[in-house]
């Protein structure tokens, strides 16, 4: 089965049998459930829902079904066309719509697509709202609009430019400093909507650029997740010495990775760290990232007199915590930057503009900037379990083993040592535990993970 339902929406591979894949019948059912929830929530008087999509091959088919279903539910549709996830989030805010649907499977391969659901604030649904949508979809007690109450279709392709202007208007984006620096960058936009919006952003900032995989046709030139193992092409291009910076985004442009001028990875964990360092240098405040993100953000935050807080994994959990502690910058270690002055959502455009502002003002090379941050290494492991394994009991055992250390159990179990940490989370889709660990060296991080895995295996056998 490749149809995955969660509080944030549905995702799956295209084609196949209803109930098993992402197909027109399941799209209609889930969109109807979402529209029903929005109607009954009564949080806004707006009768409009925004729809945006990335450039996936299946995007036009899915868009047609989504828009038609919303109109059939009596909602007006504001179709903003090919647009990034953060663009669609901002469109909900700017247009004062009742919600939004983003058609994207983020970094998943080309055969996947998904529906991501937004509330009236342009943010992902929280757990309570997401579960209500799932419950409505399961009951299928639907009622569609009569002919005189059908919604209307509105197309508006101006939101990319509105998004860009909102970035240029941010207080800490120094457009003049960036222009004076005369940066030359290489960008990999993985054949999706980044190829449409990033050239416009860079031109507005006076940055000279070359684009790899810039045609927004959804036929991804390589695995679309912006990890080092997938980025050989742009890393080789950077080694030519012709560029100051390499920029990589995922298909829906909410994740951001940088490459140094010498072709080495800046480190996806350090995207947020570097942007936070720039923001905190200009304004003292608090920060948030998820439990599986690098400790370097905590170090940088405390250096400037702020307080760092950890949230459960998941963007909605991070934004909820950011509001709770009044954080001025936050995000996730996978290259997701959330800057509340713009909006509560991961936004690669905001990350790029703030990073370039920092680089321009510091007047240093990207590799030199990277060297100013605490150096940590994260090891990512997984442990396969039998379907009968009591995962909760296993995690409880780990808590007891390390009860003398700092333990956080809001999302699995995270053990914080003075100089390292390990985080165990059970998967929601398969019988495994994900084990992330961080230390000052790769060897130490991996050794910590293996120590915990050994203890878990011993517990399972006994």
Q: Catalytic residues, which ones?
A: 106
What pairing do the DSSP bridges indicate for beta strands 112-118 and 153-155? Answer: unpaired
Q: Going edge to edge, which strands form the sheet with 327-332? A: 308-311, 286-290, 327-332, 336-338
* N- to C-terminal Cα separation, the chain: 33
- 3-state class of 460 per DSSP? helix
Specify the DSSP class assigned to residue 95. H
Residue 59 and residue 48 in contact, taking contact as beta carbons nearer than 8 Å = no
DSSP 3-state of 140: coil
CA within 13 Å, CB half, 66: 29
Distance CA 401, CA 421 (A): 14
Distance CA 52, CA 118 (A): 11
Q: How far apart are CA 431 and CA 37, in angstroms?
A: 32
H or E segment to which residue 399 belongs = helix 391-401
- The whole-angstrom separation of Cα 462 and Cα 451 is 17
- Residue count of the chain: 462
- Alpha helices, H only, 294-390: 296-303, 315-325, 348-362, 366-370
């Amino acid at each position: 089965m490749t149809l995955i339902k969660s509080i944030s929406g549905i995702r799956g591979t295209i084609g196949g049998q209803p109930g098993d894949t992402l197909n027109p019948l399941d799209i209609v059912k889930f969109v109807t459930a979402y529209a029903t929830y929005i109607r009954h929530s009564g949080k806004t008087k707006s009768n409009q829902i925004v729809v945006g999509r990335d450039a996936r091959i299946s995007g036009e088919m899915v868009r047609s079904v989504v828009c038609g279903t919303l109109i059939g539910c009596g909602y007006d549709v504001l179709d903003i066309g090919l647009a990034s996830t953060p663009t669609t989030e901002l469109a909900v805010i700017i247009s004062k719509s009742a919600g939004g649907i983003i058609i994207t499977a983020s970094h998943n391969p080309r055969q996947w697509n998904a529906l991501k659901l937004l509330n009236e604030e342009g943010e992902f649904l929280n757990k309570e709202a997401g579960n209500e949508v799932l419950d409505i979809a399961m009951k299928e007690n639907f009622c569609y609009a009569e002919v005189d109450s059908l919604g209307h279709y509105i197309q508006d392709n101006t939101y990319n430019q509105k998004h860009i202007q909102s970035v240029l208007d941010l207080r800490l984006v120094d457009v003049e400093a960036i222009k004076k620096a005369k940066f030359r960058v290489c960008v990999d936009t993985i054949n999706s909507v980044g190829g449409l919006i990033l050239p416009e952003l860079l031109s507005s900032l006076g940055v000279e650029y070359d684009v790899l995989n810039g045609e927004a046709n959804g036929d991804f030139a390589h695995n679309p997740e912006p990890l080092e193992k997938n980025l050989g092409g742009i890393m080789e291009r950077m080694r030519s010495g012709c560029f100051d910076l390499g920029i990589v985004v995922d298909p829906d442009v909410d994740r951001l990775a940088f490459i140094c001028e010498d072709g080495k990875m800046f480190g996806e964990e350090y995207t947020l760290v570097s942007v936070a360092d720039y923001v905190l240098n200009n304004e003292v405040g608090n920060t948030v990232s998820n439990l599986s993100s690098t400790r370097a953000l905590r170090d940088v935050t405390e250096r400037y007199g702020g307080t760092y807080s950890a949230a459960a994994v998941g963007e909605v959990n991070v934004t909820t915590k950011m509001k709770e502690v009044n954080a001025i910058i936050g995000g996730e270690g996978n290259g997701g930057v959330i800057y509340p002055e713009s909006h509560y959502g991961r936004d690669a455009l905001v990350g790029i503009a703030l990073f370039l502002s920092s680089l321009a003002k510091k007047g240093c090379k990207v590799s030199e900037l990277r060297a100013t941050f605490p150096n940590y290494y994260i090891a990512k492991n997984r442990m396969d379990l039998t379907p009968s394994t009591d995962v909760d009991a296993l995690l409880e055992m780990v808590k007891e083993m390390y009860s003398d250390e700092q333990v956080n159990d809001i999302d699995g179990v995270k053990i914080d040592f003075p100089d390292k940490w390990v985080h165990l989370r059970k998967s929601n889709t398969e019988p495994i535990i994900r084990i992330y660990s961080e230390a000052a060296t790769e060897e130490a991080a991996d050794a910590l993970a293996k120590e915990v895995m050994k203890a878990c295996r011993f517990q399972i056998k006994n």
